[in-house]
Amino acid sequence: MKIEFIPVNDGHLNIVREIYNYYVLNSTATYHKHEITRDEVPEIIPVNHPKYKSFIILEGTEPIGYCYLAQYKKREAYDRTAEVTIYLKHGHEGKGVGMEALNFLQKCALELDLSVLIGIISGDNRGSIRLFEKAGYEKCAHFRQVGEKFGKILDVVAYQKLI
């Protein structure tokens, strides 16, 4: 399996929307409760941002996910930190793509003078938690009962890696 990462551009917004909306409708990986539109995608992921980057994950020519580095907080003192996010097309989980994406984003972060990466994960999302732990991230926060979806009260956990 050969994985490639290409920068997200406006032509990829529908791909990102389709992948994301699967999780909106079928999981607690995201706390959106309603599908997003193509026009809302740039509100969620950075597109054409000079520092924070987003990428389509390709297997051959097939888009199988996307990943990105996002601004952690909109204050200059946080500019050394980025939030890391990965969404894979349903059916592509558990094949090593997530780890490749984390490693790729870490390399990008170093090139962008970022030194702290944070993953914000639904407490229900055991697969993502295992991925981040396997990649050397450490749990640094646990926010209890902060979300609700599908009638279930949800926690959020944060994992961090100093690079």
Q: Half-sphere exposure of 44 toward its Cβ, with a 13 Å CA cutoff?
A: 23
For the beta carbon of residue 143, count every other beta carbon within 10 angstroms: 13
pLDDT per residue as tens digits for the range 67-103: 999 999 999 999 999 999 999 999 999 999 999 999 9
* Superfamily, domain 3-162: Gcn5-related N-acetyltransferase (GNAT) (3.40.630.30)
Using CA atoms of 28, 102, 16, 60 in order, give the dihedral in degrees to the nearest 10. -130
The predicted pLDDT at position 33 comes to 97
Q: Work out the angle at residue 60's Cα, subtended by the Cα atoms of residues 56 and 61, and round it to the nearest 5 degrees.
A: 65
pTM of the shown model: 0.95
Q: Where are the domains of the chain?
A: 3-162
The predicted pLDDT at position 137 comes to 98
Pick from 138, 140, 143: nearest CA to 123: 143
